[in-house]
Structure 1
């Protein structure tokens, strides 16, 4: 199995594990596409829908559609940016923050189980290699092939 297919399949399964867990906690009406939005909002400053679309690699139209669904469900809201009254940014509501908390707990528990399954040293090596490959692919996407950032 290729790296690409294996990574995609692993990500899909991991997302299903997270979705099942958050659904059991009452965070419903979510899909893998919607779940990806939370990862970006939890790790970044509030951002516009356009910036969120760029981070997700989707169109602005798709991002607006997803943001609308999440706003109706009470997970996020659009707020006026304090330094630019014309721009709206996407922010997590308390319900969205609670969802992120549950998801992060599921991620931590799953990674702990993965570590136990592989062994701590092997899991730590896997995580370092995963990070290195991510940086490599980001460099490759920018046309900076071969820029070794492993140090």
Structure 2
């Protein structure tokens, strides 16, 4: 199995587990395409639709459609940001609560993985993942030039 395929499978399974957990806690209307947006919206406070689309790899139109759905479900809102042409995407109270619940689940899963791999093994895995992301990001930016 290639590193690319393994990374995709890991992400797909982990996201599905998070989605199942959130659904069991009453967070409705979500999909894999929608839950991947939350960490970016939470991390990059006041992110615009176009920046979010660029970070995720969605078209602006697809991103807009997903964000309207999240707004309709009450997870996000749009506010005036620094860029007057584009509004900032902001988590609502419901969206912030979703992030808290997801974080608890992720931390619990990390503890379980630590039991499987050992604390040192999990730390090394995370360090390797960070190195891979950094390497690939650098490679991507070099290819764009």
TM-score (norm 2): 0.94
- By how many angstroms is 1:101 displaced? 0.5
**Distance change >3 Å, CA 86–CA 138, structure 1 → 2:** closer
- By how many angstroms is 1:88 displaced? 1.0
Contact 2:78–2:90 (CA under 8 A) maintained in structure 1: yes
> What is the match of residue 63 of structure 2?
63
More relative contact order, 1 or 2 (CA 8 Å, 6+ apart): 2
> What is the match of residue 110 of structure 1?
109
Equivalent positions of 1:70-81 (< 5 A) are 70-81=70-81
**CA offsets 1:55-76 (integer angstroms, 9 cap, x no match):** 1111000000000000000000
Structure 1 unaligned blocks of 5 or more = 145-151
| Counterpart-to-counterpart distance in 2, 1:104 and 1:41 | 14
SS in 2 for 1:28: coil
> What is the match of residue 6 of structure 2?
6
User: How many residues are matched?
Assistant: 143
Q: CA RMSD in A?
A: 1.2
- By how many angstroms is 1:28 displaced? 1.0
More helix by share: 2
Structure 2 unaligned blocks of 5 or more = none
TM-score (norm 1): 0.91
Dislocated runs of 4+, deviation >6 Å: none
**Distance change >3 Å, CA 67–CA 122, structure 1 → 2:** same
> What is the match of residue 147 of structure 1?
none
